[in-house]
């Protein structure tokens, strides 16, 4: 009886999980389907599915009209670069907060997180002027710096949570064996926290890849990533939904693939320390 009940519960939970997953994924699925439709079919009411006119023309036109590889490469450099730089800064910071906490460590962490609550547009003009003066406009290094700063609180928070799970005695033992600070962080702490660092890295690459405010405001041509690529296909006058969907699909596909293959690490990273 109990076994049947548990079986039934499992089915219900699985069905509910699928329903929620499909609900969340539906906009992306619809966008991908729309990218293969003709423009009239894309906006037809009631929406067309099986009766739609399918085509690959949108992808051909989007490819022909823009320099996709350049946008793609810029996205890779900016997303990976900002994440790696963030890790270099965040690992020592999180180490200090986790293993040598002060009276204000919690406050400091909260303050860092609170900077994420500030609307980006509030600092647009000052940052724009700083970028102009420093010659960072439309440069990949400029965007790497901005996105690193933007995501740094999240990186520090995630790493802090991981590091807190590592027993301090192990680091102490390393110190007893004569390890200096660098060796302690680089050769003891980092290898032990590698799964956590990997999931932090993945999540931040995704966040940086999807960023669409600073990447559009601070670039024109040379450093523009895929967010600017999508924006160039949006039109207030004219029906270009299918082409816009094709451009969006091309922009999210690389990160979707990355997310798919690394979902285990991502889930682990996001739920780490949630149940104790």
* Interface ranges with other proteins (CB under 8 A): 39-40, 43-45, 65, 124-125, 128-129, 132, 137-138, 216-217, 220-221, 224, 228, 231-240
Q: Do residues 138 and 218 touch, judged by C-beta distance below 8 A?
A: yes
Residues 6 or more apart whose Cβ sits within 8 Å of residue 241: 34, 39, 42, 43
User: With respect to other proteins, which residue has the nearer C-beta, 114 or 234?
Assistant: 234
Residue 237 or 260: the one with the smaller Cβ distance to other proteins is 237
CB of 255 to other proteins, least distance (A): 21
Residue among 27, 52, 32 nearest 42 (CA): 52
Q: CA–CA distance from 254 to each of 15, 108, 248, 260 (Å)?
A: 29, 35, 11, 10
CB of 276 to other proteins, least distance (A): 45
In the complex, what is the shortest distance from the CB of residue 115 to other proteins, in angstroms, rounded to a whole number?
22
Closer by beta carbon to other proteins, 62 or else 249:
62
- Give the residue with the Cβ less far from other proteins, 159 or 244: 244
Report, in Å, the least distance between residue 128 CB and other proteins: 6
166 or 231: CB nearest other proteins:
231
Q: Which is nearer to other proteins, 234 or 263 (CB)?
A: 234
CA distances to 96, 182, 190 from 100, rounded to whole Å, are: 5, 15, 16
Q: Output 38 or 183, the one with its CB closest to other proteins.
A: 38
What CA–CA distance (Å, rounded) separates 47 from 77?
38
Q: 37 in helix, strand or coil?
A: strand
Minimum CB–partner distance for residue 79 and other proteins (Å): 21
Distances (CA, A) of 253 to 11, 212, 247, 250: 31, 16, 10, 5
Tokens of 90: 């965040």
Measuring CA to CA, how many Å separate 211 from each of 60, 75, 102, 218? 26, 10, 33, 12
Q: Rounded to an integer, what distance in angstroms lies between the CA atom of residue 62 and that of residue 153?
A: 36
Shortest approach of other proteins to residue 62 CB, angstroms? 11
**Residue number with CB closer to other proteins (160 or 240):** 240
- SS3 category, 144: helix
- Min dist. Cβ of residue 214 to other proteins (A): 12
Minimum distance, C-beta of residue 123 to other proteins, in the bound complex (Å)? 12
């Amino acid at each position: 009886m109990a076994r049947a009940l548990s079986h039934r519960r499992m089915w219900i939970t699985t069905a509910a999980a699928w329903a929620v997953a499909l609900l969340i994924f539906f906009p992306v699925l619809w966008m991908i389907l729309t990218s293969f439709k003709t423009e009239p079919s894309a906006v037809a009411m009631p929406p067309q599915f099986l009766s739609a006119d399918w085509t690959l023309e949108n992808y051909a036109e989007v490819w022909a009209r823009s320099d996709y590889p350049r946008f793609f490469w810029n996205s890779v450099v900016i997303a990976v670069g900002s994440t790696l730089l963030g890790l270099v800064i965040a690992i020592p910071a999180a180490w200090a907060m986790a293993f040598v906490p002060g009276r204000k460590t919690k406050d400091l962490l909260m303050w860092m997180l609170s900077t994420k609550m500030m609307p980006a547009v509030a600092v647009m003009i000052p940052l724009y002027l700083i970028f102009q003066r420093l010659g960072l406009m439309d440069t990949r290094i400029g965007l790497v710096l901005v996105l690193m700063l933007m995501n740094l609180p999240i990186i520090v928070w995630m790493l802090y949570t991981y590091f807190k799970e590592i027993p301090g005695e192990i680091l102490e033992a390393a110190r007893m064996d004569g390890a200096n600070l660098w060796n302690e962080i680089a050769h003891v702490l980092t290898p032990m926290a590698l799964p956590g660092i990997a999931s932090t890295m993945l999540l931040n690459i995704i966040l940086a890849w999807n960023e669409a405010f600073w990447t559009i405001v601070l670039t024109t041509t040379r450093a523009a990533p895929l967010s600017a690529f999508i924006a160039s296909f949006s039109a207030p006058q004219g029906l270009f939904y299918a082409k816009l969907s094709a451009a969006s699909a091309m922009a999210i596909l690389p990160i979707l693939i990355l997310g798919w293959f690394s979902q285990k690490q991502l889930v682990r990273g996001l739920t780490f320390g949630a149940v104790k």
